[in-house]
């Protein structure tokens, strides 16, 4: 993105965690922000923080699993802020449970919220992003979508893998239209995502591999990383750079990699 001057961003899941942190980081660059969330109290509080930084800001209650809510988010953003240059599809949920214990409804919910909302979001805002001539999309995936390490989050992992595939395809499809794409792959980040967790049956300790192999990031650090990725039009944005080493290892010897992960999990 050539400049942040006079830009407007729309961020789903923008009232807390990485969405809020990114909104604040963009506001410090002078970007006005429309944040979307289900928590109205947090929406109001975050919108107030953004306005205190000297930018225009609105909070819109939005259930991203409902295309009509995303359409209303666009209507309010255009009506109240005038344009949309940046779209961050960040809202997400975390279904938990053994594969056989996770009902189909939870798989469908994960795909609607984590993946299809990004599809609908880009489709809905595409005319506005293209009209700017310098638009940008950020899709929040996860390292859990890049490789398997936690069997208790298969619905989440699958939805985030779909986000990665979508983002890579969009990076190719939208480049000729002047729109950049960033795929954010968070590792461990201190957020409140566990508030969205819905266990299906008893769950043992989660993500021990991730905790052992990836440094915990703050949401504020991730927000800064996202702003820099938008500025430089960076596509692949892991919050932990050693993800690249792990993916290279898997690419060289996929069977050996899976065998090692099985052995790691078998240790308990």
Active site residues: 156
Burial of 194 (0-12, 13-18, 19+ CB in 10 A): exposed
User: What are the two backbone dihedrals, phi and then psi, of residue 79, each rounded to the nearest 5 degrees?
Assistant: -65, -40
**Distance (Å, whole) CA 4 – CA 6:** 6
Give 22's contacts (C-beta < 8 A, 6+ positions apart): 11, 14, 88, 90, 138, 222, 223, 226, 227
Residue 228: count other Cβ atoms within 10 Å of its Cβ. 13
Give 151's contacts (C-beta < 8 A, 6+ positions apart): 98, 99, 265
**Distance (Å, whole) CA 138 – CA 182:** 5
Give 241's contacts (C-beta < 8 A, 6+ positions apart): none
């Amino acid at each position: 993105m050539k400049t942040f001057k006079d830009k407007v961003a729309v961020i789903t899941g923008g009232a807390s965690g990485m969405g809020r942190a990114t909104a604040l980081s963009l506001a410090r660059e002078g970007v006005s922000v429309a944040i979307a969330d289900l928590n109205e109290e947090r929406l109001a509080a975050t919108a107030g923080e953004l306005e205190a930084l000297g930018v225009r800001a609105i909070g819109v209650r939005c259930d991203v699993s409902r295309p009509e809510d995303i359409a209303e988010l666009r209507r309010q953003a255009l009506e109240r802020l005038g344009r949309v240059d940046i779209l961050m599809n960040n809202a997400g949920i975390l279904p938990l449970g053994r594969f056989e214990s996770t009902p189909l409804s939870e798989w469908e919910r994960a795909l609607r919220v984590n993946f299809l909302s990004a599809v609908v979001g880009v489709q809905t805002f595409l005319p506005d992003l293209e009209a700017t001539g310098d638009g940008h999309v950020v899709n929040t995936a996860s390292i859990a979508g890049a490789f398997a390490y936690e069997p208790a989050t298969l619905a989440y992992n699958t939805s985030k893998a779909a986000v990665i595939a979508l983002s890579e395809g969009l990076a190719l499809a939208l480049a000729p239209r002047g729109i950049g794409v960033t795929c954010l792959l968070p590792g461990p980040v201190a957020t409140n995502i566990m508030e969205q967790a819905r266990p299906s049956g008893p769950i043992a300790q989660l993500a021990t591999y991730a905790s052992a192999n990836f440094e915990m990031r703050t949401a504020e650090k991730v927000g800064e990383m996202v702003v820099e990725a938008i500025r430089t039009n960076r596509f692949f944005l892991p919050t932990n750079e050693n993800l690249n080493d792990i993916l290279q290892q898997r690419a060289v010897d996929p069977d050996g990699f899976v065998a090692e992960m099985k052995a790691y999990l078998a240790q308990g």
